[in-house]
Amino acid sequence: MKRCDTKAQLGVMVQQTRAVGKKVGFVPTMGALHPGHASLIERASNECDFVVVSVFVNPTQFDNAQDFATYPIALERDIDVAQAAGAHAVFTPKVVELYGGDLAVEPVNYGRLTSTFEGKMRKGHFDGVVAVVRKLFQAVQADAAYFGEKDLQQLAVIRRLAADEFEGLEIVGCPLIREEDGLAMSSRNVRMSDDDRQTALHLSGWLKSIRADASAGIEVGKLLDKVRLEAAAVEGLELEYVDAVNGHTFEPQQVTGNGNGVFAIIAADVGGIRLIDNCRLACS
């Protein structure tokens, strides 16, 4: 497996690969790789001939300086994880390589996709995400890019970016991977204390019961209200939102049924760590 730090090195490698008709897959990450990331790389390596994984902690998508300062970094281990999962190249640019000296990013307006939920709670977050993913897409020139449903709203934003600006690039959404106890895997989980981790399990627990009760025919609005009430009573947990939306448009949608892509989404702060999770409410 190759490691490169510059767009020029990566460009040569990818051009040589494409020149012989190989399909190039791309998995962007911020590192501290866990089995959720590995599942994306494995999927890419099953579907593509050459897989590039980027590891880059993007400063412009953090709305919280403390979160950026304490974001876990484990580059040597990441390289091993990426290789074991089937990556052919790891792209590890420095900030200046992608941004030059200018960290200012353009505001992005994709309507509800960028103004609600994560877009509302984390001001400027999607501006930074779109800025970096655009730069990475331009650098990698992949045929397909793989993103996790863990960040469901981000996935919808990236689909829109690709539709607007990267014709022919396939965006592949991959299932959310959980710990055995149900907690959605996240690089930030390593920063949680044991007590906070137990508290954090409420999120996946609530989603699971919303899903079960919704399939038993209980009105989704009532289930969401019940979770809001329960959350208010949990010490150490600050609920930001819980709702039901169409996973592509992020329009509120509480009527579930086969194939209509409704997801329950939730975000909360537990012990200073922001957690997001979601689950599909009906099969599609």
Least distance to ligand AMP, CB of residue 26, Å? 11
79-108 residues near ligand AMP, rule: CB under 6 A: none
Give the whole-angstrom CA distance, residue 246 versus residue 90.
34
Q: Binding of ligand AMP at residue 185 (CB under 6 A)?
A: yes
Q: Binding of ligand AMP at residue 176 (CB under 6 A)?
A: yes
Q: Which is nearer to ligand AMP, 136 or 185 (CB)?
A: 185
- What's the alpha-carbon Rg for the chain, to the nearest Å? 19
- Answer for which of 25, 36, 128, 247 binds ligand AMP (CB under 6 A) is 36
- Structural tokens at position 258: 């086969």
- Answer for which of 125, 150, 160, 211 binds ligand AMP (CB under 6 A) is 150
- Between strands 262-270 and 273-280, the pairing is antiparallel
Three-state secondary-structure class, residue 59: helix
Q: Which stretch binds ligand AMP (CB under 6 A): 32-40, 82-90, 120-128, 262-270?
A: 32-40
Is the separation of the CB atoms in 149 and 174 below 8 Å?
A: yes
Least distance to ligand AMP, CB of residue 175, Å? 7
- Answer for which of 17, 45, 54, 187 binds ligand AMP (CB under 6 A) is 187
| Residue whose CB is nearest to ligand AMP in the complex, by number | 148
C-alpha to C-alpha distances, 139 to 92, 133, 135, 172, nearest whole angstrom: 12, 10, 6, 19
**Is residue 125 flagged as an active site residue?**
no
Give the whole-angstrom CA distance, residue 218 versus residue 215.
7
Q: Distance of alpha carbon 260 from its chain centroid, rounded?
A: 21
Q: Which helix (H) or strand (E) holds 241?
A: strand 237-246
Least distance to ligand AMP, CB of residue 214, Å? 22
Least distance to ligand AMP, CB of residue 147, Å? 4
Q: Binding of ligand AMP at residue 118 (CB under 6 A)?
A: no
Comparing C-alpha atoms, which of 188, 171, 170 is closest to residue 179? Answer: 188
Q: Binding of ligand AMP at residue 24 (CB under 6 A)?
A: no
Give the whole-angstrom CA distance, residue 242 versus residue 117.
9
Which residues are known to be catalytic?
A: 37
Residues at the contact surface with ligand AMP, assessed by CB under 6 A? 29-30, 36-37, 39-40, 147-148, 150-151, 174, 176-177, 184-187
